[in-house]
Amino acid sequence: MPAPVGRDLETTRNRLVDWFAGLLPDATDVEVGELTGPGATGFSSDTILFDLNYSERGRVVSKALVARIQPSGFQLFPEYDLPAQYGIMKALAPTDVAVPKMLWNEWTGDVIGDAFYVMERVVGQTPADNPPYTAEGFLKEMSPADQGALWRGYIETLVAIHRLDPIELGLGGLAMPELGATPIDQELRYYENFYHWAYPEGGHPVVEPSLEWLRAHRPPMPDRIGLSWGDSRIGNMIFDGTKCVAVIDWEMARLGDPVMDLAWGFFLSRYHSEGTGNPMLPGFPSRAESVAMYEAGVGRPAEHLEYYEILAGMRFSVILIRLAKQLKHYGALPADHNFEVDNPVSNLHRLQLQEIGVL
């Protein structure tokens, strides 16, 4: 992922120096290193990596940091609630879910022109989206045994998240009652609104029949409303070897049926293999094995999983519509490209709908 589009990184760096100098009253000789982007994953936010160095009471302090900045350009999502993301990771800090340590925030936009928060940088590796981890990279190069261990760590992470009580954690504000009476009503209305915002021309040949089917086949209210990570995939996890050391990117977090997360992970796994023309990594457990592991961990069945996989395909297809517009806006795709309709995600979702007799 490139550095934040349209942001003067040297000006941003100098303003961060002044901000940290005021934020840390005992600090002297404050230095902020070069600002860089995070690599080959993520499109939804401005993210910068940098080193902070200063002296404090005779000792030298060095910190490797990450700043997440409110998007100021052609943003991917209709809304981007940066304080909510910060609050989720703060709330998760004392739990068994590994998250980066949240350090500071600045919500006014007065410092660098947009709100941001700062967290510790976690050292490790993240499976890439582009090129997909099934084609090259550290995960593909692992032994099958280690690949399996990493995927099981993903399932264990979902279990740890889904065993939490979001109300006890103070995360009740993630509900969206203004969008519907139940979590699935809220999710469908959110993505219907997202679709119309991203694709006002209408008539998408995959998303519209998918939304119609999803509305007609809504599952009943789940017995337990839990915390759904949202963008629940190994590409949003940082690994030290096969061990997950951080779970990141909570902008799609919801209160709802946690099975949505398992379904999203399955759809993304299918996308990174079948959807990109690459074989599944040989060490990954089968779908049935993964479901059994998940159900044993949470202590309840993963009901309506197939429905939520269709939902995952629709959600990701809508996001790709907006991503296509974003890429065209910044000149990365020609204006007449039909990527909103003809892309690997929508094509895989089309196949999903064909499998259930919708198309």
d(CA 49, CA 4): 11
**Cβ 79 vs Cβ 136: under 8 Å:** no
335, two tokens: 């204006």
Q: Is 13 helix (H, G, I), strand (E, B) or coil?
A: helix
Q: pLDDT for 297-336, tens place per residue?
A: 999 999 999 999 999 999 999 999 999 999 999 899 999 9
Is 9-120 CATH 1.10.1060.10?
no
- Paired with 240 in beta bridges are 243
Q: Is 172 helix (H, G, I), strand (E, B) or coil?
A: helix
Can you give the pLDDT at residue 252? 96
d(CA 128, CA 133): 5
- Environment class of 176 (CB within 10 Å of its CB; exposed 0-12, middle 13-18, buried 19+): middle
- How does pLDDT run along the chain (359 residues), one tens digit per residue? 344 455 789 999 999 999 999 999 999 999 999 999 875 444 445 899 999 999 999 899 999 999 999 988 888 999 999 999 999 999 999 999 999 999 999 999 999 999 999 999 999 999 999 999 999 999 999 999 999 999 999 999 999 999 999 999 999 999 999 999 999 999 999 999 999 999 999 999 999 999 999 999 999 999 889 999 999 999 999 999 999 999 999 999 999 999 999 999 999 999 999 999 999 999 999 999 999 999 999 999 999 999 999 999 999 999 999 999 999 998 999 999 999 999 999 999 999 999 999 99
d(CA 236, CA 42): 9
Can you give the pLDDT at residue 38? 72
Give residue limits of the domains in the chain: 9-120, 138-355
d(CA 38, CA 64): 13
What are the φ/ψ torsions at residue 81 (nearest 5 degrees)?
-90, 85
Q: pLDDT for 138-162, tens place per residue?
A: 999 999 999 999 999 999 999 999 9
Q: Considering the entire predicted model, what is its pTM?
A: 0.94
Half-sphere exposure of 254 (CA within 13 A, CB side): 23
* DSSP, res 173: G
Helices marked H in 57-177: 82-92, 138-141, 144-162
d(CA 106, CA 115): 6
Q: What angle do CA 99, 151, 134 make, to 5 degrees?
A: 110
* DSSP, res 283: T
Neighbours of 64 (CB within 10 A): 13
What are the φ/ψ torsions at residue 58 (nearest 5 degrees)?
85, 0
181, two tokens: 């009476």
Estimate to the nearest angstrom the gap between the alpha carbon of 108 and the chain centroid: 24
Q: Is 139 helix (H, G, I), strand (E, B) or coil?
A: helix
Can you give the pLDDT at residue 39? 56
Can you give the pLDDT at residue 6? 59
- Paired with 226 in beta bridges are 256
**Cβ 90 vs Cβ 139: under 8 Å:** no
Domain 138-355 fold is Aminoglycoside 3'-phosphotransferase; Chain: A, domain 2 (3.90.1200)
- Quick one: angle between helices 144-162 and 287-298, nearest 10? 40
Can you give the pLDDT at residue 260? 98
Strands 116-120 and 102-106: antiparallel
196, two tokens: 């119309």
H or E stretch at 117: strand 116-120
**Cβ 122 vs Cβ 113: under 8 Å:** no
Can you give the pLDDT at residue 43? 46
